[in-house]
Amino acid sequence: MGAGSWGTALSIVLAKNNQEVRLWDRDQSLLLEIEKARANTRYLPEVPFPRQIVICDTVEKTLENVRDVLMVVPSHAFAGALRELKALLTVQHRIIWATKGLEPDTGYFLHQVVERELGVKQSYAVLSGPSFAKEVALGLPTAVMIASKDLTFANELAHYFGQNTFGVKTTDDVVGVQLGGVVKNVLAVAVGISDGVGFGANGRAALITMGFSEMMQLGNGLG
């Protein structure tokens, strides 16, 4: 669900692993462009789509007879997207998201949003890690984490996604994986400022080292 650069890249990863993928986006003109070109000409024009990717123009078609629903929408649109799906979800559906961020108005982690919108019994997992969509789509080496309270589910997803250039590890630390995806952006901005004012490699190394330590302290503080 979501045919931006990251959603497209993850679709390509799954398709290269011979998983059938149904790709949907709210922007119908984008879907028409993708269907015609068999590539996402707007976001990743240099990467052709494998045949396993099927473009769907409705949410109903996308969810029909599937089990796993991968959400790749911005964090500010995450709750609304879940509400849109809710009436179509059954007990067989499992939710995965590759969205980095918190809910803007509440500061909730996205697993808290899932539990609020879909109930605490909903099966869910989160995929996150240091990754640029273009490099993932081109098959350059990348490592990510999949976190779920249900490690059997997480390991199943790791099998779907994992390949030589897309390494996947699993954990039950749902909070930690989401926290890393959020706070690393703060550290990245600080490093950019340091570079911009000319503080050099030593300043950058100090910021990254101290920032990483603070990230771990925050993670421990949140359990």
- Residues with catalytic roles: 184
Q: Classify residue 101 by its DSSP letter.
A: S
What gap in Å lies between CA 52 and CA 43, rounded to an integer?
19
| Side chain identity at residue 129, one-letter code | G
Query: Which residue, 48, 115, 29, is CA-closest to 78?
Result: 115
113's CB contacts (< 8 A; 6+ apart) are: 78, 79, 82, 103
What gap in Å lies between CA 98 and CA 85, rounded to an integer?
17
Number of C-beta neighbours around residue 107 at 10 A: 8
Task: Find tokens 């590759």 and name the residue.
Answer: 98
CB 73 within 8 A of CB 98: no
Sign of CA dihedral 153, 123, 9, 141: negative
Query: Which residue, 195, 191, 219, is CA-closest to 207?
Result: 191
